[in-house]
Amino acid sequence: MDKMVLLVIMFMLLLFGSEVAHSQERSAKTRLSGKEVIALNQLTNKIRAAFGKNQLDSALIFSEKMIALCASKKDTACLVDGYYKKAFLQNKSSQRGAALQTYIIGIELALMSNDSLKAANMLLNLSTLQYEMGDYTGAQLSATKGLSAHDKSSDSVLTANLYRALGNTFQDLMDYDNAIKSFQTALSYTQETDLKAGILNNIANTYRKAANGQEALQTYETALTDSLAMTPKTRAFLFDNYGFTLSKNNPLKGLRYLEMGLQIRESQDDKMGLLTSYLHLATWHAKTQPKTALDFAKKAHALSLQIKAVDAQTEALSLLCRLKENPKEEALRLVTLNDSIAAANKRNLHQAVGIRFRTEETERENLQLKQKNDAQILLTEKEKANKWALGGGLAVSLAALGIFLVFYRKNKKQKKEIEKQKDKVEHLQRELHHRLKNNLSFIDFFITLAKGKFPEPEYAAKLDELQNRINSMFEVHRQLYKKEDVTSVNARTYISTLVENVKRAYDNPNIALEEKVADTHLRADTSFPIGLIVNEFVTNSYKYAFPNNEKGTIFIHLKETPNAYHLHLADNGKGLPADFDIDSLNSFGMETIKLLTEEYKGTFKLDGSDGTRMDITFPK
């Protein structure tokens, strides 16, 4: 729908809303006759019946007839219900762009007729749809608008789901603190067992993504205290997620929960749930029982094709590439599929953002039109009250207003052009980060393929180190692509993710990590050297600082001052030789750290007398 069509629709809504406002008593009652009420009920029943048979095209036709009937009688409540049903069916039919536009019209009608509950429900659906299309900012705005549209205490389940939707957007934008706050607020609005369990699962996933495994496990355990009261489907996904998270620290106990989740899903014939179980079990068995892992990966791939779960298909193909001896066919499928997913995601995001932009622009124009009409009405009334007394002053005011408008429009045009250029630059930057992220992802994938060809542990270790270095660069582009601000990354989130990658690669429970990273933002150009240096130091500590599987701690501290970033890295391991010389050390990691510091005009101090300590300062 182009801008002009949307403008006409919104203008009609504005006029219709005016009529509703001037005839509240008349519009509160239905304008439909007895026969028309019967016809409306018949259409509603036909929609339900067609939807139940999965005849979505027929259900959509009936919803359009319902809207036409309601519009002919200007019955607002009926129209709101019609647009609600139509948008829901369009979304189910994969007509996402059309569903977005229909929800927008329905929401405007609901707000005009003071049906705040229906408006909030549609805003929740709109937020979910925008989230699925990758428009996280739009989803955040819709959820926030939904929370302000209705009395939060009037429907606590709706309120909980709106806060939950808000938390999901924060999580995908990697604002983990606000995600946790949103989910915890959602919890305060519900005692319903399954919904509560789902929200606790969201909180645990957020902790896990923020590299806080202990908090994640504790949250899962809290959720599982009511497991007997849950539906089998909810109990199964909690068992599975808890087991998968637990398996990193307690593999056998984790496996038991994974298998319990699988058994429930098999008994319920829960195909989406089974797909997740197969993927998690394939990952669990990959290191110790590759044949069993391969069987689960094959099951996951077959099921993902059957139910058309594209994201799960890519994960299953990645596992098959790791586990099969000659995965050429799977590798080719994975590359092709990733290309098509990236293209589809890009189209979806552009469509969602484009509709949101056009809608906001139309709303601004409607507001300006309404303000202009209100100003004209006020002016007319004043003229009637005191026509001659205000005549001279009005002429002066109009002249001043004309001069003001000339300068205002000129200034507005300049600002609009600047904003347009700024948006264009930011779009190009985001697209660049996206492409670099995808390219690094493919490099990482091909390294994974290469690891399967070299059984020697020395080769695998070197390739693991190379992957971690690539991941430190990948993570910058991943974070920058998802953010509104494409020039900086959150230091705490970025470094925690890097450290967690190294921790998973070496899987040594005797080594602890202590992170004290300021909640600040690093410029993109500064984040690359800091990330690589942290990766090299932590990797070296895992490899050399604690021989014979000794216990120890690695410290990563970062603080910010007005003119610099101060990075302190240390471990309490065996340290460096008494006669060490950094210029003669045969260590690629140390050499990389030194060269990066010099390249970015930083200062470097190294002490190996009591463990290894390194202090690096980068100017801003």
pLDDT of residue 478: 66
Q: Is residue 576 left, alpha or beta, with left meaning phi > 0 and alpha meaning psi from -120 to 50?
A: beta
Encoding tokens for residue 514? 């202590």
The neighbour count for residue 569, using CB atoms within 10 Å, is 23
Q: Show the CA angle centred on residue 506, arms to residues 503 and 507, nearest 5°.
A: 75
CA-wise closest residue to 510 among 548, 536, 537:
548
Q: Which two tokens stand for residue 318?
A: 């990645």
Structure tokens at 587: 């260590």
Structural tokens at position 253: 């106990």
Nearest to 151 by CA among 194, 189, 187: 189
Can you tell me the distance from the alpha carbon of 40 to that of 69, in angstroms, rounded to the nearest whole number? Answer: 8
For 277-314, the DSSP string reads HHHHHHHHHTTT-HHHHHHHHHHHHHHHHHTT-HHHHH
Which residue type, as a one-letter code, is found at position 423? Answer: D
Is 203:183 a contact under the CB 8 Å cutoff? yes
Phi, psi of 511 (to 5 degrees): -105, 125
Report pLDDT digits (tens) over 426-456.
555 555 555 555 556 656 666 666 666 666 7
* Helix ranges restricted to H, 32-75: 34-52, 56-72
By the 10 Å C-beta count (0-12 exposed, 13-18 middle, 19+ buried), 496 is classed as: buried
* Alpha-carbon span 166 to 594, nearest angstrom: 43
Domain boundaries, the chain: 489-619
Q: How far is CA 431 from the centre of its chain?
A: 17
Torsion of CA 479, 132, 300, 321, to 10 degrees: -30
Strands (E), 268-378: none
| pTM, full prediction | 0.57
Residue 614 DSSP code: E
Distance CA 174, CA 163 (A): 16
Query: In this structure, what is the dihedral angle of CA atoms 323, 324, 328, 331, given to the nearest 10 degrees?
Result: -20
Which of the residues in the chain have pLDDT under 50? 1-30, 374, 385-396
The mean predicted confidence, pLDDT, of the chain is 79
The C-alpha atoms of residue 20 and residue 83 are separated, in whole angstroms, by: 18
Strand partners, 558: 517, 567
Calpha distance 559→517 (Å, rounded) = 6
C-alpha closest to that of 304 among 333, 327, 332: 333
pLDDT (tens digit per residue) in 522-551: 887 788 888 889 988 998 899 889 988 899
CA pair distance 4, 17, nearest whole angstrom: 20
**Token duo for residue 609:** 């007398």
Query: How far from chain centre, in Å, is Cα 564?
Result: 31
Summary count for the chain: helices (H), strands (E):
23, 7
Q: Which fold has domain 489-619?
A: Heat Shock Protein 90 (3.30.565)
Separation in Å, CA 594 to CA 464, 473, 537, 609: 22, 18, 11, 19
- The rounded distance, in Å, linking the Cα atoms of 100 and 86 is 11
- For the beta carbon of residue 595, count every other beta carbon within 10 angstroms: 11
Rounded to whole angstroms, the Cα distance separating 246 from 283 reads 13
